[in-house]
Structure 1
Amino acid sequence: MTVTIGNHVLGGGHPVYVIAEIGLNHNGDVELAKRLIDVAANAGANAVKFQKRTPEIATPVHMRDTPRDTPWGTMTYLEYRYRVEFNREQYVEIGDYATMRGLDWFASPWDVPSVDFLEDLGVVAHKVASASLTDVELLEALRATGKPVILSTGMSTIDQIDRALEVLGTDRTVLMHATSTYPMEPEEANIKMIASLRDRYAGIPVGYSGHERGLQISLAAVSLGAVAVERHITLDRTMWGSDHAASLEPAGLEHLVRDIRVIETALGDGVKRIYDGELAPMAKLRRVPA
């Protein structure tokens, strides 16, 4: 089965769909978001993704009054969430800019009003963050949009994934294997789960959402058949914010996309043949003809 997002087809032997997750790494700054969109476009990514919250709904009650040191001073966690959230006008600006740069754009809505907000802006798909996989009300709202849904499976059990798919359906869903540690260590990657998910949910395209340092694990995921790869991006991993350390800098994203395309070419079709480049060495080195 394949799923179409924008002008791209995921699965069925089509090229890997590369999602550059900006998330909250824009730190509430539209110009920084645009610079990150440029990074994604220049590297050859297919899409950029953001996160959309209605802070008073999406922020857990026990976290709301927790003090947080920020570049704008000490504030509560709820105040911080409001500070980095883009409004409609800002989303129109960055969405138009992403489209102008040839990228799909969408977001992870963390609550039902955010689904309505993104639908009003005409996003081509929705992403379910791993933390939201058990939010049945949110999943029902996403199913009702009729749009493709990319479902990350970090911090979740197989039973929880089963229930999420019962709500979402399987006809427009892409699963993303993920481990929700920031940054993730290799021993927690478990990328053989890509095959396990593909076997259990036959027909659903399976990709990989990574939070590791470096490129090796994401590239190995492609070799194991991931149809999509999502990585956080930043201008500088030392910037303030919770996701920067687990993000790729511009050169890293460029190398990731380059190497994914090389691996796609190298995987071939699994049919044994003699290539033209082998004929001269064969004539020179093979002593006993077939």
Structure 2
Amino acid sequence: MRKVCIIAEAGVNHNGDINIAKNMVDVAKKAGVDYIKFQTFVPEKLVSRYAKKAEYQKKTTDVAESQLDMLRKLSLPEDAFVSLKEYCDEVGIGFISTPFDLESIDFLEKLGMDFWKIPSGEITNLPYLEKIAGTRQKVILSTGMSDIQEIKNSVKVLENNGTPNIILLHCNTQYPTPFEDVNLSAMNTIAKETGKEVGYSDHTKGIEVPIAAVAMGATVIEKHFTLDKNMVGPDHKASLEPDELKKMVSAIRNIEKAIGSGVKEPTTSEIANKTVVRKSIVAACKIAEGDILSEMNITTKRPGNGISPMKWHEVIGKAAPRDFNEDELIEL
């Protein structure tokens, strides 16, 4: 069974409150995900004072404030991430945080994580990619807003600077993503063009698309979640609530089992059905010993514990070795 790595994206849905962040850790653990992911950034190093908000951000936050002001409200200090990492270790869930500036890369490297998660917005940030690659640690890279050549370019930068262990996540960065813009088939294109393992980072409403992505071969799924979609903040509306997150994880685990080995053969659970639903060659009427078996006196009926109908032409023309009653299994 192929195990899918499920990342529950807390992002900034803690609204800058460490207590909310810890509650989210509990929710993610209960849902059964592998990792909970946060975002680490120094607001002044991430955006300029002139940076505007995305349209989806304007709809769910104070329209008058700048993107910088919004991010200041949503950021957590370094000691909060130290506390969150310790709490994740305590409850038994993987901790990941995405760095959004070079300073945060240094901090998170010292804090220690199983892998780097690079967001879509940094896929063309050469200094950032080089610094991450220099750590020589596994990378999961989201590819939203990019074309295949940009993906190949970023992969080349990572590989040339010491990091060949890369998983690429197909992604659309619109919050929420319209279903007609998901283009899950692009996941297969990315795999074919780069030779890398692929996954999917989802921003659609609901849980159907990430489940479908697993069925199509995704080995990593990333999905935003929140404690309450009605909370104020840029990402809450496009996030799953706790019960939805749990349902998504359960469905993905079921799909993992359902994908199977690819070998087509009867399974243990269905072997007993063969004799019940398959057919055998039986007497269509009374047959006397020595009668020639023909389409007039034999037929096929359940159960399937006699001569297989696939041997029909081998049976036709043979002499009955004994008397047979109607519906009795033919024996030769």
How does the TM-score come out when normalised to structure 1? 0.89
Separation in structure 2 between the aligned mates of residue 253 and residue 134 of structure 1, nearest angstrom: 31
Separation in structure 2 between the aligned mates of residue 72 and residue 286 of structure 1, nearest angstrom: 67
Separation in structure 2 between the aligned mates of residue 254 and residue 199 of structure 1, nearest angstrom: 32
1:255 is aligned to 247
Separation in structure 2 between the aligned mates of residue 64 and residue 199 of structure 1, nearest angstrom: 36
Q: Deviations over 1:160-198 (max 9, x none)?
A: 111111111162211000011100111011011111111
Q: Deviations over 1:49-78 (max 9, x none)?
A: 111112112114422799x89989965432
Letter in 2 for 1:51: Q
Question: Which secondary structure state, in structure 1, belongs to the residue aligned with residue 180 of structure 2?
Answer: helix
1:4 is aligned to none
Letter in 2 for 1:255: K
Map 1:117-196 → 2, pairs under 5 A: 117-169=107-159, 171-196=164-189
1:244 pairs with 224, 232, 236, which one?
Answer: 236
2:15 pairs with 19, 27, 31, which one?
Answer: 27
Map 1:17-166 → 2, pairs under 5 A: 17-63=5-51, 75-166=65-156
1:199 is aligned to 2:192:
yes
Separation in structure 2 between the aligned mates of residue 153 and residue 89 of structure 1, nearest angstrom: 30
Structure 1 pair 89–240 and aligned structure 2 pair: CA distance change class (3 A): same
1:230 pairs with 222, 225, 232, which one?
Answer: 222
Cα displacement (A) at 1:84: 1.9
Cα displacement (A) at 1:82: 2.2
Separation in structure 1 between the aligned mates of residue 80 and residue 20 of structure 2, nearest angstrom: 12
Higher relative contact order (CA 8 A, sep 6+): 1
Contact 2:49 2:68 in 1 (8 A): no
How does the TM-score come out when normalised to structure 2? 0.78
Please list every run of 5 or more consecutive structure 1 residues that lacks an aligned counterpart in the other structure. Answer: 1-12
Contact 2:61 2:234 in 1 (8 A): no
Please list every run of 5 or more consecutive structure 2 residues that lacks an aligned counterpart in the other structure. Answer: 281-307, 311-332
> Which structure would you say has the larger Rg?
2
Separation in structure 2 between the aligned mates of residue 61 and residue 159 of structure 1, nearest angstrom: 31
Separation in structure 2 between the aligned mates of residue 79 and residue 72 of structure 1, nearest angstrom: 10
Contact 2:24 2:227 in 1 (8 A): yes
Contact 1:69 1:75 in 2 (8 A): no
1:265 is aligned to 2:257:
yes
Q: Percent identity?
A: 36
Question: Which secondary structure state, in structure 2, belongs to the residue aligned with residue 240 of structure 1?
Answer: coil
Q: May I ask how many residue pairs the two structures share in their alignment? A: 276
Q: Deviations over 1:204-223 (max 9, x none)?
A: 21110000011111000000
Separation in structure 2 between the aligned mates of residue 171 and residue 71 of structure 1, nearest angstrom: 39
